[in-house]
Amino acid sequence: MALWTPSPGSGECQRRHPTISAPSTLDDAEYTPISAECQADKFTVGSAMSRGTLALCGVNTGQHMYVPVNSTMGVSSISLNLQLGDASDATYLGGASGASWRIKITQLECGVERNYTLLPSPGGNLNYRDTDKIAPPGCVQYYSSRHGTYSSFNYGGLYLSDLDYAICFKRDPDACSI
């Protein structure tokens, strides 16, 4: 088990965590939760501003989550916990779990606007604001694109028990539906 508690930067109000698990070369059945509960390997994340701790297992390649933080409100950290099963109990990959996690953390600051120059950039600077990327309160997953494929955690496997979260979509002013 590993526990990591990163501290937020000043002005930070949210973190985006794309999570990628089990390598595609492994049999997905080895990572599927039994009885809709994580049995051996699991990843949990939470903060004092979250509705609770979110526990994930199974295949979550390409998924992401938003975790609220706000140092001005006294929430100065989040908890990331990787729990790996006992390798001696594993029956695949020669007794090794084979689970892998790749986690990228993006810190989003409230009310900050930055100017970036795109190369090649015929138009010059582009205004970019973190506030354009911040998920609304209560949203664990947030999609701002008009097009795409959207799926829940461990899609294709069992829906995990006690998994209660909101998936939100940015409203497009020119569209009347998703």
Give the pair of three-digit tokens for residue 160. Answer: 């995990």
Within-domain flag for 147: yes
At 55, list the tokens.
């526990």
What pLDDT does 8 receive? 57
Q: How confident is the model at residue 21 (pLDDT cuts 50, 70, 90)?
A: very low
Q: Is residue 108 part of a domain?
A: yes
Residue 178 lies in a domain: no
pLDDT value at residue 114: 56
SS3 sequence of the chain: CEEECCCCCCCEEEEEEEEECCCCCCCHHHHCCECCECCCCEEEEEECCCCCCEEECCCCCCEEEEEECEHHHCECCEEEEEECCCHHHCCCHHHCCCCCCEECCEEEECCCEEEEECCCCCCCEEEEEHHHCCCCCCEEEEECCCCCCCCCCCCCCCCCCCCCCEEEECCCCCCCCC
Q: What is the pLDDT of residues 161-170, one digit of tens each?
A: 778 888 999 8
Which residue range is the domain that position 75 belongs to? 2-169
User: pLDDT digits over 116-145, tens only?
Assistant: 555 555 555 555 567 777 888 888 899 888
Number of neighbouring beta carbons within 10 Å of residue 41: 23
Give the count of domains, the chain.
1
- Using one digit for the tens of pLDDT, what is the confidence trace for 50-108? 666 788 888 888 888 888 777 666 666 777 887 777 655 544 444 445 667 777 777 77
pLDDT of residue 98: 61
- Note if the bond before 120 is cis, omega within 30 degrees: yes
Asked if the structure places residue 8 within a domain, the reply is: yes
> What pLDDT does residue 57 have?
82
Measured CA angle at 80 (ends 136, 29), to 5 deg = 95
Query: Tens digit of pLDDT for each residue in 92-103?
Result: 444 445 667 777
Q: What is the pLDDT of residue 13?
A: 67
- Domain presence at residue 176: no
Indicate whether 175 belongs to any domain. Answer: no
Q: For the chain, how far is it from start to end, CA to CA, in angstroms?
A: 40
Report yes or no on whether pTM surpasses 0.75.
Answer: no
Task: Note whether residue 27 is domain-resident.
Answer: yes
